[in-house]
């Protein structure tokens, strides 16, 4: 249900499903993303989600940065896929007692122009069928930088078919 709601809400279109070898899923260090998909450092050329929504073209290489969120359930079950939001869009502060600050419930108009879908793909371009939280050691509001290929649907929504990811250090 969540996947179809996300598809309708954001016009997300995912490619054909493929299986990922189990070796893709296991990470030796659970505190870091799986080495196969990890960038060793934060790329300097990353653009914010809002800018990418304005300028990215289908099939162009892209490096994008944002925070995981945009709905109460930003992760796609059964896939290494999630939505990210431009860091300029404010989310609920800790002192507001919001149980899901990553859903940007007070910023729905700002989110629609500042959101993108990230789908981790393997070297052949097939979706990685693994929970992104475990595979990449990410959670809601993690700041991520992804490298991959931009895809646009007919509504202009942006999806990044990502092959590499950098997770910024979390603030304690």
Q: Is 15 or 69 the better-scoring residue by pLDDT?
A: 69
Give residue 30's pLDDT: 52
Query: CA-CA distance, 33 to 10, in Å (whole number)?
Result: 26
CB atoms within 10 A of CB 26: 13
Give residue 169's pLDDT: 67
pLDDT tens, residue by residue, 86-139: 999 998 876 677 888 898 887 777 899 999 999 999 999 999 999 999 999 999
pLDDT tens, residue by residue, 76-93: 999 999 999 999 999 887
Give residue 22's pLDDT: 32
Any idea of the CA torsion for 62, 67, 73, 77, to the nearest 10 degrees? 40
Q: Where are the domains of the chain?
A: 2-167
For the domain made up of 2-167, give the CATH fold: OB fold (Dihydrolipoamide Acetyltransferase, E2P) (2.40.50)
Beta-carbon contacts of 95 under 8 Å, excluding residues fewer than 6 positions away, are none
Q: What is the mean pLDDT of the chain?
A: 82
Checking if the pLDDT of 23 tops 50, the result is no
* Predicted model pTM: 0.79
Q: Which residues pair with 115 in a beta bridge?
A: 85
Specify the DSSP element, H or E, that contains 118.
Answer: strand 115-120
Q: Which residues pair with 150 in a beta bridge?
A: 160
């Amino acid at each position: 249900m969540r996947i179809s709601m996300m598809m309708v809400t954001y016009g997300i279109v995912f490619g054909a499903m493929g299986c990922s070898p189990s070796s893709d899923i296991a990470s030796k260090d659970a505190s870091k993303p799986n080495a196969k998909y990890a960038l060793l450092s934060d790329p300097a050329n990353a653009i914010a989600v809002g800018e990418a929504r304005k300028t990215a073209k289908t099939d162009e290489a892209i490096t994008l940065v944002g925070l995981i969120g945009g709905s109460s359930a930003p992760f796609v079950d059964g896939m290494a896929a999630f939505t990210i939001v431009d860091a300029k869009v404010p989310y609920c502060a800790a002192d507001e007692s919001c149980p899901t600050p990553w859903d940007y419930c007070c910023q729905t108009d700002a989110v629609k122009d500042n959101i993108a879908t990230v789908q981790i793909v393997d070297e052949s371009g097939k979706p990685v069928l693994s929970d992104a939280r475990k595979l990449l050691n990410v959670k809601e509001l993690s700041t991520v930088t992804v490298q991959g290929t931009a895809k646009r649907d007919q509504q202009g929504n942006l999806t990044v078919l990502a092959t590499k990811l950098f997770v910024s250090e979390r603030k304690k």
